[in-house]
Copies of this chain bind each other. A is one copy, B any other.
Amino acid sequence: MKKWIAAITGLVAGGLASTVIFADFDRNTNQANTNTNASNVASYAERTYVPFGEHDEYYLFASGGHSGQMFIYGVPSMRRIRTIPVFSPDSATGYGYDKHTKELMGGYTWGDLHHPALSETDGDYDGKYLFATDVANNRAAVLDLKTFTTMDILKVPNTGGPHCAAFVTPNTEYLFLPTRFAVPLGFEYAPLDEYNEKYRGVMSAVTFNEDKKKLELAYQVALPPWSFDLSDAGKKGSEGWSVMTTYNTEEATTEMEINASQKDRDYIVLYNWKELEKMVADGQYDMVGDVKMIFPEKHKGGIFLVPTAKSPHGVDVTPDGTRFIASGKLAPAMTVFSFEKAFKAIEDKKFSGEFNGIPVLDYESVMEREVNPENALGPLHSQFDEKGHCYTTMFISSEIVKWDPSSGEVLDRIPVQYSPGHLAAAEGDTVSPDGKYLVSLNKIAKDTYLGVGPSHPESMQLIDLSGDKMELIYSAPVDPEPHYAQMVKADKLSTDKIYEKDEKRPNSIWNQKDAGITRNGNTVEVRGVAMRSKFIFDGAAERKDVIHVKEGDKVVIHLTNIDLDQDITHGFGINSYDLNMEVQPGQTNTMEFIADKAGTYPLYCTNFCSALHQEMNGYLLVEPKG
């Protein structure tokens, strides 16, 4: 036990972090022994092998961090089925290269995708949409799970690095985006000496307009200049409420690794979004630019602070909606809070202080119990199973602890390799988790996999929850860098086979005879088709697969893939011109460029489409000026 206390002290001092993370714990060594036991290996192998002809039971949607992408895995095989580009370009799919997706990206070249959130109906994943946030350039995104593509991206003002992400409310009314880094409103210039007066931690309430397929900013809340981290929405009896962790309530402005860890208590923000919605409807806000912003010091009500152990990371609402559980890497324990007690404390005005007009609730009046498994260190994030059991990652002691939030009893513990951040249980953020599977998202893999140089992959480990004891049955290497994941039953998703033929779609052409090239001044507009195994740009020309323009022309190419068969995706690349896009079956897509280099440039299908894919090419001829 003393060893761990020393470790925590070291962490806080910022000096021993490496020692702690890379220490080989006895328990980890035991795990390795267990895993390599022959009969266990055979059993683990069988339980994770999905034979040809069968499908994985769950989709796992894992955030890709600073890759800007979303990674999709099958569970239990842990095979990565798909990468969906969201905030960063991806030439494999032409994302960020064609006109539409380039506009979606809004001029940014990368993003830091944290924390995906599946859309919910009645508190359950409905398999329709997936939301995500960008810590780097302050955006929110929505993905269409019929096509596995990014549908809309919203730039969010005033919020500096929406880290914790888009936890959705039980009927996807809102996604709340708290700020990770306090900034002055509008990111205005303000010296750090004016931190307390001018900086704010702005939370954004974003809605998804399903008809318009657009994200919209409903309102914002100007919280104190703290860092805000994870959040979760109330469920059932606590529906309408949300919880969110804070750190740096010290309001430190430098050397955060020491200065933001000074106070023994930070807070959980407990807020009633139905009341905030009503306040906005009643005009209880100020306009900041074109944004409705609630300033709690002025527009009172609906927001409270619950003291909790220092620097909490996760705060998770139990599936029955009765409790919320806070944990944090510097905290000695998981803390179970009661919604019922919180509501009573609010009613009784059991306040112990105030920040920016936000009342602080009395800790003892809201706290139900502190749970501290022996030698378990760094509780970070919790998920749940169908029996109401809770699974919490221990970031420092590198293990998962299974426990009962209603009694505090510790039921089981299993080592993971190493430093688990988040974890995702099957349907684990819903009102009705499935149990069965749990994935631990580990920050450090050490030498788990073949060496790939000074920087290693991260690691996700699959844990079987079906027995009384957890069993770690698979280790999957992961590209940098997963932060959070959600796991949904595969049969909840219904993907499109093709983009439906729509003759009214602007610039679409459905018959090769209709393909044509028109000139208007210096603009050349091509309406063409891609089909197995050719491009047709001009149905009347001798060479139908050639685009002939003049140097300096603006060239606009609309291409419709008229192969209405599943998976017959065509690519369209122009050699030397650094151009590429994709047209999925039935899709119309547009490429725009200036033909600023005279010459002869091959164009070709970049995405395998057919037996004669290799022969699907033509030329762009750019005639020199005068």
Contact = CB atoms under 8 A, between A and B. Distances in A.
B22 A611 contact: no
Interface stretch (A168-176, A423-431, A493-501): A493-501
A287 interface: no
Contacts of A617: 181, 256
A567 interface: yes
Contacts of A455: 93, 148, 567, 569, 582, 584-585
A348 interface: no
Instruction: Kindly list the 3 A-B residue pairs having the minimum CB-CB distance in the complex, ordered from nearest.
Output: A91-B110, A181-B602, A45-B49
Interface string A523-542: 00000000011100000001
Contacts of A247: 614-615
Contacts of A192: 543, 546, 619, 621
6 contacts: A17-B533, A17-B610, A45-B48, A66-B571, A74-B449, A192-B543
**What band does the interface of chain A fall in when counting residues whose beta carbon is under 8 Å from B?**
35 or more
Interface string A558-585: 0000010111110101011010101011
B92 A585 contact: no
Interface string A108-146: 111110000000000000000000000111100000001
A10 to B, nearest CB: 9
B189 A621 contact: yes
B454 A584 contact: yes
Nearest to A163: B614
**Interface residues of A, dominant DSSP:** loop
Interface in A573-626: 573, 575-576, 578, 580, 582, 584-587, 598-602, 604, 606-608, 610-619, 621-624
A56 B568 CA distance: 34
A39 B92 CA distance: 38
A396 interface: yes
Given A74-B449, A148-B452, A476 B79 contact: yes
Interface in A227-281: 229, 247-248, 253-257, 260-261
Given A36-B52, A52-B448, A421-B608, 10 more contacts: A14-B534, A35-B52, A48-B49, A66-B573, A92-B479, A97-B110, A147-B453, A183-B600, A329-B611, A454-B499
A450 B59 contact: yes
A456 interface: yes
A31 interface: yes
Contact of A261 (B453, B566, B615): B615
A92 B51 contact: no
Contacts of A255: 534, 544-545
A304 interface: no
A407 interface: no
B46 A457 contact: no
A415 B67 CA distance: 36
A74 B453 contact: no
Interface stretch (A80-88, A288-296, A317-325, A364-372): A80-88
Contacts of A499: 454
Contacts of A229: 614
Contact of A254 (B14, B83, B260, B542): B542
A568 B445 CA distance: 11
Interface string A430-466: 0000000000000111101111111111100000000
B32 A41 contact: no
Nearest to A54: B36
Contacts of A254: 542-546, 618
Contacts of A586: 454
A313 B614 CA distance: 10
